Amino acid sequence: MASLDLTVSSVELTRNICDIPSVSGDERVLADAIHDAISALPHLEVYRDGDTIVARTNLGRAQRVVIAGHIDTVPINENLPTRDLVVDGVPVIWGRGTVDMKGGTAVQLKLAAELVAPRVDITWMWYDHEEVDADLNGLTRLARTRPDLFQGDFAILGEPSNGAVEGGCNGNLRAIVRTHGVRAHSARAWVGENAIHKAAPVLTRLAEYEPREVPVEGLVYREGLNAVRIRGGVAGNVIPDLCEVEVNYRFAPSRSLEEAEQHVRDVFAGFDVEVVDGAAGARPGLDAPLAQEFLAAVQAEPRPKYGWTDVARFSALGVPAVNYGPGDPSLAHHDEERVPIAQIEAVEQGLRAWLAGS
């Protein structure tokens, strides 16, 4: 049975939780270790829903901040256990989850244990199934069963942001664009209709698509529309009757999910389009008083978040939220995933100083 010692440094804690594999759908061992460690802390009220753990202070403060991090990772690819390396002169921890997002989660666990009397009440959330479809996400489930736990004046997601503050996030939509044909023997191809050949205009439209750069409340979000998977074919001697092109649309938070869906349908007008997954983005929300205090405390210049994160869930509930965590987002899911040790320490120091009011 795995266990966690929350008295070690956040750097050592990052190594420890990364070395407990927790690919989406297999988070139980790590969730048990977090629950056992947090439940031993008398200043926190602890609630568990599946492999999602929530811990709260109840000090009667005038304001409450929600701080969340997911505990799952994408699949391991010979990049565990973690290793300490020096890359371009920078000491790093290498391995799956170091960036996305166990470095941030380790900082949160460390502070949850040590901040007994913060200047605001804090709700800590560590949740499962972030790296898969939105309907499996632990926060989705928790919002149905305990919406009261999301109440707060400001929220912080520990997603990797290079130790900077990234406001809001792009929305994310996946759709299947289908072309249909008629099966036939490939020796008599003229008898059939090749569905794969009919997909050529779909790929042409994608290749010629010009994504927007959209200013939203002072931050510029970059959009993208890309093919991410193609499926088709029956056998080596059969003209295929079906081809499916899966596309992924990342859209600025100025556009609603419904508007994003309509845009994709317009781009692929004349084709069979099925939207299979989608999540709205989140506006920056940096004008909130607590957000301004936080930016000043950590001395950060805000940037846009290009990927989708769970800040969108809080934004939809009227809680302004930002991303703030160690690690380079471009290394998330990368086989050479690694986080600078100095960033883990800096994020801990920034959060600690702001929450403690020092």
β pairing state of 83-87 and 90-94: antiparallel
Is there a catalytic annotation at residue 130? Answer: yes
Task: Please name the helix (run of DSSP H) or strand (run of DSSP E) that holds residue 51, with its range, or none.
Answer: none
Task: Please name the helix (run of DSSP H) or strand (run of DSSP E) that holds residue 214, with its range, or none.
Answer: strand 213-216
Helices 103-114 and 341-356, packing angle to 10 deg: 40
H-helix segments, the chain? 10-18, 28-39, 103-114, 138-145, 195-198, 200-208, 257-267, 289-298, 311-316, 341-356
Active-site residue, selected from the candidate residues 27, 32, 130, 153: 130
Task: Please name the helix (run of DSSP H) or strand (run of DSSP E) that holds residue 64, with its range, or none.
Answer: strand 64-70
Is there a catalytic annotation at residue 49? Answer: no
Active-site residue, selected from the candidate residues 27, 51, 72, 128: 72
Distance (Å, whole) CA 85 – CA 90: 8
Which pair of tokens denotes residue 233?
């074919």
First vs last Cα of the chain: how many Å apart?
A: 38
Distance (Å, whole) CA 144 – CA 132: 18
Yes or no: say if 301 and 274 are a contact pair by the CB < 8 Å rule: no
Q: How many residues are present in the chain?
A: 358
Helix (H, G, I), strand (E, B) or coil at 134: helix
The residues annotated with a catalytic role in the active site are: 72, 130
